[in-house]
Structure 1
């Protein structure tokens, strides 16, 4: 049996390429030598020193991350087995479909590939299940990495044989050539995927690389570290609804037209240097011709292309113009969706948030979503396509060496850019965290401006902010310094490739090897045209990476679970008359149990009812659960036990909007928007007329006070209403509740922080709003609720007393004790007022009657 086919010698190494006999034998021998010799040594070392991995696969990772890595590990296994099967199948088909004799090198290489691939499977499983007694492995061992690299390089070396007509199948002249080409594509893709997955090492990161000592966990944020492109598909899937204008056919047409302009630009980039060469060649030699048509076409293409990078060309300008509306759609969609999602989150989440940090995340995230698509589609993708076109053109029109130089240079440039940029990720992420902390510090300090003044802490706040800036600038310096390092390395790679290609081109022109001066002009102009956008590749890649980093926190916000959601099929709250409901209560708590944390219950089996048109008051010491009852009724939280009925319907079975639309709340601490008084009153019912708002202000006893302001109803109340007094803010809140005209009223200690006279005025306003409405009051001052139809006394989350004011006083229990204490305190305050003022009051010191008591 011959080792090589007839008329092919193993020693015949080069003739416009290598022979398949030589190429496949050397490739199989080198790869087998690597994996068998050094792999066997690794197996011996593992058997002697290794111990089972102490952590189970996926330890410390989320279910989604664990499934993703397990899938990739299985892909590694399947591809390796497929390659082994492929070599056996090809050998079997050699004498039939491929119509060629089986020679010695085919048997030898097939056996070597099958053995070496199975050896790699053994090493993969050993590295997954065992570990050496040293620093935990951060990836696959050197043997497997070199083996996968050699596999991929071997397939790439096949391109050296494009110009060899004998044996190789690139010309696709027969069925056998087409089958071989299909096999080659399968091998190439398989070895490429194995090479990439080998760098990622999914079988190891799930086994023991995800612990607290791993680089995959961020110490400050607690989030998984690693490439910002991890879960790329998931992130793009989240953004996809915002990137495609689903409801606008005109914008969809604009997107398609932009892609057409992008494709046309790739063709223009190829023809610009081609016509430059044609112009130069037409002017050289004795047969020089005035080719004005070449000049006009060249100028026309340059007009369409622009200044080399497409930055000033008609095509790029037109595409940019059309893309403005698409970008605005994306930005608008992301911002609105995120804003709506934040409003849909629970009160628990909002109480624990940092406003400055959330706003920073929103701004950076939406800006990143705006530029992400443009960077990928109109910067990275065209650059990669231009590189592939250039490699193919130089191989076909010049020489394979030019294509090889371009391919190696571009590949090395991209690999270096990605590697260094990924290495810089930790510095960018740390800078973002420091920036978040700086912004949160400044916003928190300014929001608490009064507290800072009360405690004379301006210098402390300034020093703390200065320290936050120092920390941010320290991280910023690291990010900027590593960026300069990246630019230097990129410039070195680009200059090296340009030098090698130029030397080869000039040599072939001078040595008369089939190239002309025009070819050198073509090469130099094309390569420089290609390097200009490539120089921006690092910037584009960093922009995309920065976008993903900036969007990480935004994705976290979008993934934040809504604690309180409408049940499937929930309908609106239907309020029927009490007679139709059979005399049922408007509000009813049935054995309600709730706690903000599992180990600290706030309410313990609370049960009570509020009949239609009646008033029930909740009293008790701080922390007894009074305000929690209000929050549960408004469904800021869901009960953990029991049920809450409104109008005979469980609040969990009706929509939140319909429930809250029927309830009016006057909170203890009124917070107003930094807008006009009119705006804040109108917030009770945004479609109300001006006359209705004025009428509501009159009922709230604030209309005359508003008219004394310089701008009247247009007076801006300031941040959180700080320009108004406590009583004025409270009456604005009452006015907008009156304007809302709800079925139920919740008063959460609405007058606890007011002086006596203001309290009396507001009580009169509350009497108007509560008249003939079902009312639930949380009271601090007992004198404000003596009119209530029922008073519930809470202590440590339980109702210990219930009844009317007189009944509870007669019992002599907790309520009577609280009443006596408040009377004593009120008498003491009264004596202090009389002592300070020598003028007796006209009413003889008698308290004014309580309108609600009337």
Structure 2
């Protein structure tokens, strides 16, 4: 049964170190950052000035002055109030517009860095990952950058700066009691929000884990659509997916109820603080210690401070979550591949095109050896075939040649260069492979073939198509070479996929060709035509063929027979038949199968 649960870590501490790690991605537009911060300061000054304009407007309306003077003063104050409002909005919009470009570029750079790093990681990592969950981690991390910049830089930090400025103004103009109430209520509010939000983190993490698990389950099931159909397991998949969704539903409900508790507590603290401030101001107005304008100013300041704080629980939780999500991205970036180039590794320079396995042993883990002391040489221009029963280690040889894994013992050399001493990119550039399980991109036949060499001319692409015997099939299609093959190539047959893969590697035209059971999905007629093309190519290149059908490699220069990870025998087709060993038994068994 496939697992649909991710390991949860509800009490994982927030790594605030993500800020210095994120900072280099924000520095591309230093000028924009400076101007945005200046706009932030200007908008905050305008915000603090608004209550004072209200105070003087109210006091002017109550002042026993001449009517024409009062009207002029009030008009000026109203205009000033409107101007400050407009300035506040415009500066905030300019700030968001300027910093938006910074955030978007940081998201782009970070997303690209993660994408490139994932391609640089070794095969072992990708075999263990879950695509759906990884995709959600990348999506959440990129969104987290935007949220963190928007709310932390332009909401939380400015709000606390404003709180201290306002507390200082209240202390100097109206006495310590107003400043104490404001500061004390803010401290209680923040402390409650942090404690309650940390308590809620368990439920939020559980909800996110359930979301990732259900998403991974759905993607896993849809990617294996054909297998589900083969075994009539639609209901089984639906029930399994529904169990994941039920877990997500329960987690959402807990999250919603905990949010109610958080918002209720915050509302109570705000209500008590505002009531206390208004009561003190009302008593001072009644005692003629302050004017009605002062009352309006204190009310406006209190509202101004608590309105953004009203979202603190949500913002703190989201900022905390954003930091965790961004940290997940940096955790991916910190993943180290077990297969790495040596420092200053040179590029592989293929001179003659010889390939040597020297006492190569390999195991995926220490418990089960796959290859044992394998030694053979493929001379320049030779066509060598490797055969053997399933599990003998044939396809592992291809993975080792591409350095998806490193050998446990021994060495693999191209000409005289150990493949571990050269750069992986140059090594893989020297090999073209048609794998046993061909997976195509969800694009046209033409683009899938051209993927072998994106810089190839149209004529070169057509030549590769003709070589792979793909042209007759293309001509039967309504959209010809522009026909879409579907996700993972599901819209074309196995044989057609294989021919597209062969055309793709022929277009790459590397010094070495590797065919990992490349004709296993072809009918006899197509197999013959494709083998003619492979044999033609093999005349001028070094070719290694992993074969199941022995009839396709009878003209190989050398045939290596693997048995349980060891070379049992090798020689030409005729020599091996005369030897009457394992190859002879395999050949005889396949002859009997073909005659039935």
TM-score (norm 1): 0.67
Distance 2:547 2:433 in 1: 14
SS in 2 for 1:509: helix
Distance 2:262 2:224 in 1: 43
Matches within 5 A, 1:631-670: 631-670=399-438
| Structure 2 residue aligned with 1:236 | 19
The runs of 4+ residues in structure 1 deviating greater than 4 Å are 220-225
Distance 2:96 2:9 in 1: 36
TM-score (norm 2): 0.95
Q: Does 1:492 align with 2:268?
A: yes
CA distance 1:386–1:550, change in 2 (3 Å): same
Of 223, 227, 245, which aligns to 1:447? 223
- What per-residue deviation string (whole Å, max 9, x for no partner) do you get for residues 521-546 of structure 1? 11001111111111122222122122
Distance 1:474 1:677 in 2: 45
Distance 1:740 1:389 in 2: 67
Residue range with higher mean Cα deviation, 444-453 or 756-765: 756-765
Matches within 5 A, 1:61-210: none
The offset of 1:589, in angstroms, is 1.1
| Structure 1 residue aligned with 2:573 | 805
1:227 touches 1:422 (CA, 8 Å); kept in 2? no
| Structure 2 residue aligned with 1:796 | 564
Q: Does 1:470 align with 2:239?
A: no
CA distance 1:755–1:793, change in 2 (3 Å): same
| Structure 2 residue aligned with 1:774 | 542
1:674 touches 1:719 (CA, 8 Å); kept in 2? yes
The offset of 1:698, in angstroms, is 0.7
SS in 2 for 1:753: coil
Matches within 5 A, 1:406-425: 406-425=182-201
The offset of 1:236, in angstroms, is 2.1
1:685 touches 1:740 (CA, 8 Å); kept in 2? yes
1:490 touches 1:535 (CA, 8 Å); kept in 2? yes
Distance 1:723 1:293 in 2: 73
| Structure 2 residue aligned with 1:277 | 55
- What per-residue deviation string (whole Å, max 9, x for no partner) do you get for residues 618-650 of structure 1? 111111111111110011111122211112111
The offset of 1:552, in angstroms, is 4.7
Q: Does 1:319 align with 2:95?
A: yes
- What per-residue deviation string (whole Å, max 9, x for no partner) do you get for residues 555-599 of structure 1? 4322322121211011111122x3xxxxxx611111212111122
Distance 1:791 1:320 in 2: 68
| Structure 2 residue aligned with 1:212 | none
Matches within 5 A, 1:562-581: 562-576=337-351, 578=352
Distance 2:531 2:494 in 1: 14
Matches within 5 A, 1:665-814: 665-814=433-582
Distance 1:376 1:228 in 2: 19
Q: Does 1:431 align with 2:216?
A: no
Q: Does 1:548 align with 2:323?
A: yes
- What per-residue deviation string (whole Å, max 9, x for no partner) do you get for residues 704-752 of structure 1? 2202100011000111111112221111111111111110000101122
Q: Does 1:295 align with 2:73?
A: no
Distance 1:221 1:396 in 2: 55
| Structure 1 residue aligned with 2:312 | 537
- What per-residue deviation string (whole Å, max 9, x for no partner) do you get for residues 41-91 of structure 1? xxxxxxxxxxxxxxxxxxxxxxxxxxxxxxxxxxxxxxxxxxxxxxxxxxx
Distance 1:478 1:506 in 2: 42
Distance 1:736 1:325 in 2: 39
2:9 touches 2:205 (CA, 8 Å); kept in 1? no
Distance 1:648 1:713 in 2: 42
Matches within 5 A, 1:229-268: 229=14, 231-233=15-17, 235-245=18-28, 251-268=29-46
SS in 2 for 1:674: coil
2:54 touches 2:296 (CA, 8 Å); kept in 1? yes
SS in 2 for 1:303: helix
Relative contact order (alpha carbons < 8 A, sep ≥ 6): 1 or 2 greater? Answer: 2
Distance 2:217 2:320 in 1: 26
Distance 1:636 1:790 in 2: 25
- The structure whose Rg is larger is 1
1:567 touches 1:654 (CA, 8 Å); kept in 2? yes
Please tell me the root mean square deviation across aligned C-alpha atoms, in Å.
1.6
The offset of 1:228, in angstroms, is 4.7
1:611 touches 1:774 (CA, 8 Å); kept in 2? yes
| Structure 1 residue aligned with 2:593 | 825
- What per-residue deviation string (whole Å, max 9, x for no partner) do you get for residues 21-47 of structure 1? xxxxxxxxxxxxxxxxxxxxxxxxxxx
